[in-house]
Amino acid sequence: MERCTLSAPAKINLHLEIIGDRPDGYHELAMVMQSVALCDRLELRANGLEQFRVHCNTPGVPGDRTNLALRAADLMAQQYPESYHNLGGVDIRLKKMIPIAAGLAGGSADAAAVLVGLNLLWNLGLTQPELWELGAQLGSDIPFCISGGTALASSRGEEITPLPSMEGLSVVLAKYRSLAVSTPWAYKTFRERFSHTYATGESEQEQRRHSLHAGPMMSALLNHDKADIGRLLYNDLEKVVLPEFPSVAQLRQVMSDGDVLGAMMSGSGPTVFALTETPEQAQALCDHVKHEIPDDDLALWVTEFCPTGIVING
Ligand code: C5P
């Protein structure tokens, strides 16, 4: 096989709870992740060279090794040197639809697609857990991006427990184009201000995980109770990002005031999402937000929950 095309969905966090510190400097998390149908598109084409190249027209997407998609390709070459040597590298054409530095795991989704694509092109036969393990070496969100749908994520965020997929909810995403939030800054600031709330011992951390895994959000998901899912949205990082970025706090307020099930910031932001029962309500919310915040810098997308991670289209 010489070529494949893939779709790489964005994610939102329905629950993001920071439960403690980790010895590796990261945070111990308890999260519910959800894929949405806003997707990047990738084409991987064998180039007959011992080299990987990325082509993307979107400003701000790096063509060098800071691009997570190239780092994913390098990792595959390092892990499977014979395949790399025999079958060669690929040119990665990236059509970026997911906004960058947005809290939607766009870069992680692209890296996940490269792992899945090279597994196919090099005929490696890696299982999903094997791909998860490779993804975890590159970034905490990549394992989720591989399998997608609805899932619990714990540890650094890389330990995935898939849940029955939750479909039929519409989503509005809103982001100021010129605004980016640094994820390391958000976590560092959270630690500075809230480390006194961290669970210290393993049993206290386990207790916090258990409160999510056996709690109301889990029941809402298992019962497909859309109203409760909207009501129970939670993100610890709002506590540091919203005070620092008043425009994001205002956007969240305007979205919450619409006819929505709930609204919240995704990941470390600055994207705010709102859940609605129908696509018509999502469109009406966009109109409401544009009316309340008439700013050309504000971009809006209507999308929906999506039951998959990376999909191979051909
Ligand atoms: O894993 P990833 O590269 O996506 O994480 C980006 C940054 O977010 C890390 O460098 C770290 O500062 C912070 N982070 C954290 N705890 C996590 C995940 C991310 O502190 N569980």
DSSP-derived secondary structure for 61-84: --SSTTSHHHHHHHHHHHH-HHHH
Question: Which position among 11, 96, 175, 226 bears the catalytic label?
Answer: 11
Q: Is-cis flag, bond preceding 143, omega within 30?
A: no
What pLDDT does 261 receive?
A: 98
Using CA atoms, how far residue 156 sits from 23, 79, 204, in Å, is 11, 23, 17
By the 8 A CB rule, do 38 and 61 touch? no
What pLDDT does 132 receive?
A: 98
Distance 106 CA to ligand 1 centre (A): 15
Q: Which two tokens stand for residue 186?
A: 């958000």
What pLDDT does 60 receive?
A: 86
Residue type, 18: I
How many CB atoms within 10 Å of residue 225?
A: 15
Question: Which ligand 1 atom lies nearest to the CA of residue 187?
Answer: 20
SS3 298: strand
Q: Which two tokens stand for residue 1?
A: 């096989």
Mutate to test the pocket of ligand 1, among 17, 21, 27, 28 (most ligand atoms within 8 A of CB): 27
What pLDDT does 297 receive?
A: 98
DSSP string of 257-275?
A: HSS-SEEEE-TTSS-EEEE
Q: State if residue 139 touches ligand 1 by the CB under 6 angstroms criterion.
A: yes
Q: Catalytic: 11?
A: yes
Distance 180 CA to ligand 1 centre (A): 16
Q: State if residue 247 touches ligand 1 by the CB under 6 angstroms criterion.
A: no
Cα–Cα dist 224/149, whole Å:
14
Q: State if residue 198 touches ligand 1 by the CB under 6 angstroms criterion.
A: no
Question: Which ligand 1 atom lies nearest to the CA of residue 155?
Answer: 21
Q: Catalytic: 226?
A: no
Q: State if residue 191 touches ligand 1 by the CB under 6 angstroms criterion.
A: no
Q: State if residue 11 touches ligand 1 by the CB under 6 angstroms criterion.
A: no
Question: Which position among 40, 96, 110, 141 bears the catalytic label?
Answer: 141
Place of tokens 């998901």: 221
Distance 120 CA to ligand 1 centre (A): 29
Distance 241 CA to ligand 1 centre (A): 15
How many CB atoms within 10 Å of residue 161?
A: 9
Closest to 236 (Cα-Cα) out of 11, 33, 18, 12: 18
Half-sphere CA count of 308, side-chain side, radius 13 A: 10
Nearest CA to ligand 1 atom 13: 184
**What is the value of pTM for the model shown?**
0.97
- Give the residue ranges of the chain where pLDDT is below 70: none
Cα–Cα dist 225/11, whole Å:
20
What pLDDT does 15 receive?
A: 98
What pLDDT does 54 receive?
A: 96
